[in-house]
Every structure is written in C-alpha cells, then in structure tokens.
Amino acid sequence: MTAVIDRLGGGRPVFSVEFFPPRDDVGERQLWQAVHDFEPLNPAFVSVTYGAGGSSRDRTVRITGRIAQQTSLVPMAHLTAVNHSVAELRQVIGSYAEAGIRNVLALRGDPPGEPLGEWVAHPQGVHYAEELVRLVRSLGHFCIGVAAFPECHPRSPDAESDVRHLIAKLRAGAQFAITQMFFRAEDYLRLRDRVTAAGADMATVPILPGVMPITTLRGVQKMAELSGCTIPETVRNRLVAVGDDPAAVRQVGVDVATELCERLLAEGAPGLHFYTLNRSGSTRAVLARLGMAPVRSGR
C-alpha cells in the first residue's frame, strides 16, 4: 500500500479528495460515481470519513477497503476516539490492516449528537488525538495524518495552545496534517507561520489546506457552524447576490474556491484537499481552472 506521505513529496502541488459513507443505496451510487470520476485524475489520495461516535465505522472500513482493492486510488481511512475504548480502537485499526489499508487520519472526533458540545472521553479510551497517534503507531507500519485548524479548534483557548496540540501530534508520530475548511488564505498562512515558529519543518511535515467548493448557501452555513469556520462577508454577499439559482450558486462556489486555491498555491501550499460531499462536479471544475485536471462536463 502506497503511503500518503510519499505522494506529497514530489515537489509539485497535488490534490486529494474526501468522501463520506453514504446512508442509503442512492447515496452509495453517488459515492461510487464520484470515485470513478476522480480516479482518472490521479489524486494523491482519497479519504473516507468516520461518523461521530463511530456511527459509520463499519461502512468506512468497507468502503475504504473496496477503494483499496478495486481501484487504483490511494485510500486513507479516518479514525476517531469518540465512544471507543482502547481495545475497540485496536480492533478497528486491525480491521483496516486486514483490508490492506495503511493510511489513517487520527482524530479525537466530535461528540455524537452535539458536535460543539462537551467532549467526554471513554473511560477506557484516550483523551487526545496525540494519544491516538501513538496507539496507531504502536500497532504497525501506518502512515498517519492529523487535523489542523486555521481558525483554531473550537475548544482551544488561543492560537498558541492550538499549535502546541498540533506539534504534540506531529511529535507523537503523525507525518502530515489536513486543515479544517476555511475561506481566507491568511488563516492558513498564519497557521503555517505559527507551526514553523514552533519548530516544525514544513518541508518534511506538509500541512494540506482543506477547501470546500460551495454548492448551496444553506449547506455551507451549516458546515461552517459545525466547524467554527468563518464565511467572509464578501463571500456571503456573492452568494446572496445570485439568489436561489442553484447553478449560479455553484458557479460562485467554483469561483470562490478557485481564487482561494490560486492564492494558496502561489504561497507555496503543498497541495489542496477538497471536501467533496460525495460529488465531483465542482471540485473537477476548480481543478480544471487550476490546470490540474482536464475540463469535463459537470455532475
């Protein structure tokens, strides 16, 4: 199994995409259509999320394993500590290994039911993502990624403590990081500067910026609320200006994402991680604008 870190060190910007386990057969078909749409574009890797409290654990393992076995894509599975004992976490990690999956994004995770509520560790579990990274590292040869937060984690008291947590995860064995979604390039650049000042080498520990092309105003508002991401007033005004026209909203979303990506790449970002919501059209349109993928009809 190819390690994600090996796909990030080629000296040129790369892109990756994120999927989530579908809830029904219709969603499953949509997911696999997106997988097949992205496969010819050769993303550095694709990731599959893991529901709060492990609610989609089995589907995540199954889908990530199928991607590994039936496509040419490099898959990475998410793993969260919510509601899991260390014994259960060992079992999940073992399931990934049995499926041939050796790339893991280790996350503490959000509380089930109330993502911004109080986080309570399992009595026999772990308290921090740093501990989860150490657990995964102790169980075999895994390539481990972690989360980073350009606008700080919602529970961090300040930017300095937020960076200390990220540095601790990297020192525990994480090899790269992916940021939460954001819309202001300056937030990513300030995070990168703080991490560098704290002693991390961005040349060997890349931080991939997370980008979500907007497809609906309501959807992005909900995602921003859950993640603590700020939607700039200028972006909100552009969306409001096109009203309820879905095609126009998606076009604004592509424009906004393209502008952000162009700035990030110009500032030396090692790549781009797209939150796709299991659809390929808007992300492919952005990649085409950036010259990172051929132009194709949207879906």
Catalytic residues: 18
CB 84 within 8 A of CB 122: yes
Long-range contacts of 171-175 (CB under 8 A, 24+ apart): 172/130, 172/131, 172/133, 172/134, 172/137, 173/133, 173/134, 173/136, 173/137, 173/144, 174/106, 174/133, 174/144, 174/145, 174/146, 174/205, 175/3, 175/4, 175/5, 175/143, 175/144, 175/145, 175/205
Residue 150's Cβ-side half-sphere holds a number of Cα atoms within 13 Å equal to: 22
Separation of alpha carbons 88 and 63, rounded Å: 19
Angle, alpha carbons 188-158-83 (nearest 5°):
90
Separation of alpha carbons 119 and 247, rounded Å: 39
